[in-house]
Structure 1
C-alpha cells in the first residue's frame, strides 16, 4: 500500500481516511488514478483536487461509512469497483453486524487495491453471471431450538463466503489459537480465498499447459479434496513441512498450497510497497549486518523477478519482527521461507505478470 497525501495541505493520509484531519477536506479514493484525493463539493457531486475536470460521486456504501471510493459522475453504477462484487451482506440493523461489516469492507477494499494494481481480471456477477467474482458475508444462524448452523469461510466457483464473525478480533483470535495458526487476519482470509478464484481463472481455464505447469510446482489437484482435508485434520502436517510449504494448511492439498502461497505473495508485494513509500532502509549494526541490508526503492508490483522481492523482504521481516518483540507483540511475519517456498512464490510472480 502506498502512502497518500492531501492535495490541499500535504497531510499524510491513510488509504481508509475519509476526512483530512489537518484541513478538513472530504477525501475519496479514485481507483483509476490509484490515489486518495481531497475533494471540493460541486452541487451534489465532488471535484477531486487530484484530477482536472472530472466530477465524481461516492459509492452508495459511503452512506454506511463502509467505503470511500469514488465513481465518475457520468457512470451509471451506484457502487464502486470493489462494492459491485458484493452478493450478500449481513443484517445491518444489528449494530454488531454493522461494525463487523465495516471491517470486512476495509479488508476487501485493501485486497482490491492490489488486484487492480496487478491488473488481474475482476469481472463481477453482473458482467459475468456464471464465472464472475462475488462475495457473501454471512452470519451463523441459530434456530428456535438453539441449534447453530455455522458459516464456513471458503470459495466455490467465484463465490467467496466470509463468516462475519471473523471481523470480531476476539473471535478470530480464539479460532487462530484453536487451529494452531501463527497468523490469522481478515485481509489474510480475503487474499487466501481469492487465490482459489484466480486458480480457476488463470490456471484451470487457461488450458492443459497451464495446469501441468502448476502441477509441477504444487502437485496434482485431482487428488480427492475431501479426503485430503480429512487426512490433514486427522493427522496434521508432516514433521518436515517447513522445507516445502509456507504453512501447515498448505500441506493439506495442492489447491490450499496454491492459495496459501498466493496470499503470501500478496502480503509481500503490498508490504514492500508500504516500506518503499516510507523510504525504509535496513542496515543492522552487527558484524554480519551487511548480509541483512535492504533499501526498498523499487515498485514491487513491477519487480523483475522473485529474487528482487525476497532480497528486500527477508531483511524487512527480521527488522519488523524485532520491533514487534520490543513491543511485546507477536512476530509481524511468523513464517520461514525455504528455497522450495521461494520457488513457489517465483511461480506466483510469473503467473501474475
Structure 2
C-alpha cells in the first residue's frame, strides 16, 4: 500500500525533482535522462552539489561531504587533521615542552616551600606516615603527594567555656547539695605530634576531661566552699592538677594553663529558698559578732579592774594600816554619797530630828505659782 501512495504522488508531480521518474523516458535502472515529453527541457539540478553533472563517470565535480569541507579548510587542523594547530615558538619549535617545564616548576615551588609562623609548627607526613616536626621559618619538603605539611598554632592559648551559652550544669557537692557551675579552661599544645596522631578529637577530649575533673573535685568540698572565694581558688587548682594528670596519661600533648570558675550558683528551682538561708546565716553571724564584741568589752573591763586591784594590793603590802583606812574612807564616801543621811555630834545628843523626811515634805513652789504671782501683785 505504501508503494501505491508513492506512485500516486509521483504521478501528480509529473516528474521527480532530482530527474525523471522511473518509466518516464528512463532506462530500466531509472537513469536521469531527458524526458521525451518535456520538449527537450533539462532536469532540475541537485542544490547540494556544485555545478556540473552528478552522473557517475562524468567530468563534473563530485559531491562534497562534511569531512571534505573541514579537511580542506587551511590552517585549522593539526598533524592528524582532527585538532586545532597550536602556535609555534620562534624557529618552528613547539611550545609544549616549555609549558610542561613551567607547570612542573610551579608544582615544585608551591608543594615544596612552606612558610611557618613564629607561633606555629608543622607536621610532615610522607605518603601518610609521620616524618618529622618543623619549627618556625622557611622550610623545604618534597612536593605533594609525596609529602604533606599540616601547620598548627602551638603557642596561642585556647579557651573552652563549659557549658556553652546559658545552659545549666548541676554538680553534687560533698554535703549532698547541688550547685550550678560554669567554668573556663585555658590550654595550649605542648607536643604537636601527640596532639595530631594520639587523639581522634583533641578538643572534645579536653572538654570531657575538664568536666570529669570538676565533678570529682566538687564532690570533695562543701557547698559553702564551692561558693566562697577561698574555696573557689582551691577547687580551680585541684581541677587543673587532675586535668593535667589525665591528659598526660592519655599522651594527648596538651598543657593546661588554668581553670577559672565563672559562675557558682544554687539551682534555679531552689534559688529563693537558698537566698533565705543565706540571709538567716548572715543574721546569725551578725549576732555572733555582736556577742563577741560585748564579751571582749567585759573581759577588758575585768582585766582593767584586776590590774587596778593588783596596784592597790602592792600599796597595801607597803603600808597596810594607811591603805586600809584610805580604802575605808573611799568606800564610805562612795556609799554615803548616794544615800540620805543625818549627822549627829556625840556628847549632848539632842532628840532625833528627821530632817530628810522634812526636806522631802517641803516642796518647792511650782512654776505655775511663780508665774501667776506677778499678776496677782499687779492686780493689788
- Normalising by structure 2, what TM-score? 0.17
Q: Highest Rg: 1 or 2?
A: 2
* Greater relative contact order, per chain length (Cα 8 Å cut-off, separation 6+): 1
